[in-house]
Amino acid sequence: MRSLLLIGIGPGDPDALTLGAVRAMRRADVFFFLEKADAGRDALIDVRRRLLAAHAGDRPYRVVSGRTPARDRAAEDYADAVADWRDRRTRVIGDLIDRDLMPGETGGVLIWGDPGLYDGTLQSVQDLIAEGRGDLRVEVVPGIASPQALAARHRVPLNRVGESLTVTTGRLIGSADPDTVTNHLVMLDGRHAYRHLTGYDLDIHWGADLGTPDEVLIAGPLDAVADRIGATLDAKRAAKGWVMDSYLLRKRREGP
């Protein structure tokens, strides 16, 4: 039997690590690092290395790295491009597990935020088990997800009383009917999708690089702050090549 722990590490603040994550880190014999194809993102690998150094305990463990493929962002068919990228990433994870996780051992993957929210690793591992790795057991250790960090930093609840919360992506909100946007948490927006939603009495709570020394928070009427958010995103991308941002869009309503 081999075990694999998918450990949620929170969205950037080392203090957002749970006690469960620390305990799980101390169980693993080998950690798998899935490095992005774009070198700038290695900063996120450094965060993981620091967490391991601080919490994995004073004992021997191995670290093995695999380079995850880049997605074809120019592809005409988005769904096909994502499926192809996911498949290639699954192969990388499978090769690491087959080569470096020995019978009786426990492996660990440190997952940004929570493993259950916009992260494909769990599905990849389930696919690898279904393919015939019947000796592999996967365990998920939840982490604090970026929407929770956003709400906490802005000191707002994620939902208002009696309302639902929709968690969605920049791609989907960009093509949504603005009149249907009431209480939407947007992640994975590389295209300034919020700009399409000005003029509809929406408020925004926006956060970039939450929980890190580079954190920026902006809140207010979307029409008033959209340009400032855009300029901040452009400046961050120009400075380090990438940025992680999320935002809560709310239809303004009278009263509490």
Ligand X SMILES: C[S@@+](CC[C@H](N)C(=O)[O-])C[C@H]1O[C@@H](n2cnc3c(N)ncnc32)[C@H](O)[C@@H]1O
Residues that bind ligand X (CB under 6 A): 11-12, 112-114, 117-119, 145-146, 187-188, 207-211, 244-246
Q: Which is nearer to ligand X, 11 or 107 (CB)?
A: 11
At 110, list the tokens: 């440190």
Q: How far is the CB of 253 from ligand X (least distance, A)?
A: 25
Give the residue with the Cβ less far from ligand X, 96 or 145: 145
Q: How far is CA 181 from CA 75, 169, 201, in A?
A: 28, 13, 10
CA distance 63 to 61: 7
66 vs 113 by CB, closer to ligand X = 113
Beta carbon nearer to ligand X, 202 or 208: 208
Per the CB < 8 A criterion, the answer to whether 7 and 141 are in contact is: yes
φ, ψ of residue 160 to 5 degrees: the values are -95, 160
Q: Which long-range contacts (CB under 8 A, 24 or more apart) does 83-86 make?
A: 86/120, 86/123, 86/124
Report which residue's Cβ sits closest to ligand X: 113
Bridge partners of residue 221, in order along the sequence: 203
Q: Compute the least distance from the CB of residue 157 to ligand X, in Å.
A: 18
Q: Closest separation between CB of residue 103 and ligand X, Å?
A: 30
Nearest to 226 by CA among 255, 171, 189, 175: 189
CB 119, min distance to ligand X, A: 4
**Residue among 209 and 223 whose Cβ is closer to ligand X:** 209
Shortest Å distance, C-beta 247 to ligand X: 8
